[in-house]
Amino acid sequence: MVLLEMSITPLGQGESVSAYVAECVDIIDRSGLEYELHSMGTIVEGELSDVLDLMRRCIEQVATHSDRVTCAAKLDYRRGMSGRLKSKVVSVEQKLGRSLSEN
C-alpha cells in the first residue's frame, strides 16, 4: 500500500484554483479510495497502480481547462501496511501524549 500526496495546478487560470481542485476531489471521492483533503493538497491511500492511475485521471481532468498543468507528488510505499492515513497521525499523538488540532 502507498500514501500519495498530490497537488495539481492548472497554469494560466488565475489565482483561485478551487474549482479545479473540486473537480479532482470529485474524481478522488468517487474512486472509493481512502483520502484526506487539506489546504495544500490531497493524500490518498491505496495500491500503487490505483493511486497512480487516480493521479493521472486528475491531471487529465485539469488539463481539459489548461494547456499546462503542474503536479507536485510524494509517495510513501510500505509493503504490507494499510490504514496509515490515520495511524501515522495517531502514532505521533501517542508520542506527544495528546491529540492534535484538526483545524
Q: Domains in the chain, please, with CATH?
A: 2-96 (3.30.70.930)
71-88: per-residue pLDDT in tens?
999 999 999 888 888 888
- What pLDDT is attached to residue 100? 85
Model-level pTM? 0.86
11-69: per-residue pLDDT in tens?
999 889 999 999 999 999 999 999 999 999 999 999 999 999 999 999 999 999 999 99
Cα–Cα distance list, 48 to 3, 34, 52, 87 (Å): 9, 13, 6, 19
